[in-house]
A = this chain, B = another copy of it.
Amino acid sequence: METSTLHSAGYLLTKIGQVTTARFADLLAPLGIRPKHFGLLAAIATLPPSTQQELARALGLVASAIVEIIDDLEALAAVRRVPRPLDRRSYQIEITPAGSRLLEKALAAGDEVDRLLLDGLAPADADSFERSLVAIAARLGVPGAA
């Protein structure tokens, strides 16, 4: 039996988030993507047709960080950069059928991670936990969760 060093909500949240991300990355690896690709792919599938700048704002990332993620997804034929004649500086990022299939598999991996997190909780606690996460994310202005 060992005394625990740190039980604050912030500490536990951060550490659980790190473990969760690592596990998610393991599950995504066979699909050839990592969590950041999943986030962008999900945003592209959910948002109205967007430019890279718009996606960056929606995800709380800087625009320069988007470039390589879209490069990777485009190399997988999961998204396309579609020229916009009205403004030739920017592209409209579109998901492809292959991208939709990829997203579906990635969402299944996400569900598995959620089960890993919540399976040990009593159903009432799991419900309360998920509602609290949504409320906290909204209050903190977490990008992608607004």
Q: What are the 9 A-B residue pairs with the smallest beta carbon separation, nearest first? A: A17-B17, A10-B113, A14-B17, A5-B46, A12-B133, A128-B128, A129-B132, A15-B142, A120-B139
Q: Residue of B at shortest CB range from A124?
A: B128
Among A6, A20, A139: residue with most chain B CB under 10 A = A6
Residues of B within 8 A of A14 (CB): 17-18, 20-21, 24, 35
Majority secondary structure of chain A interface residues (helix, strand, loop or mixed) = helix
Q: Across the interface, do A13 and B13 meet the contact criterion of CB distance under 8 Å?
A: yes
Interface pair B9/A17, CB less than 8 Å apart: no
Complexed CA–CA distance, A145 and B36 (Å): 27
Interface size class of A (residues with CB under 8 A): 35 or more
> Within residues 66 to 82 of chain A, which ones have a CB less than 8 A from any CB in chain B?
none
Per-residue contact bits, chain A 105-135, to B (CB 8 Å; 1 contact, 0 not) = 0000011011011101100111011111111
| Pair A140/B19 contact, Cβ less than 8 Å | yes
Q: Please measure, in the bound complex, the distance between the C-alpha atom of A19 and the C-alpha atom of B114, giving whole angstroms.
A: 20
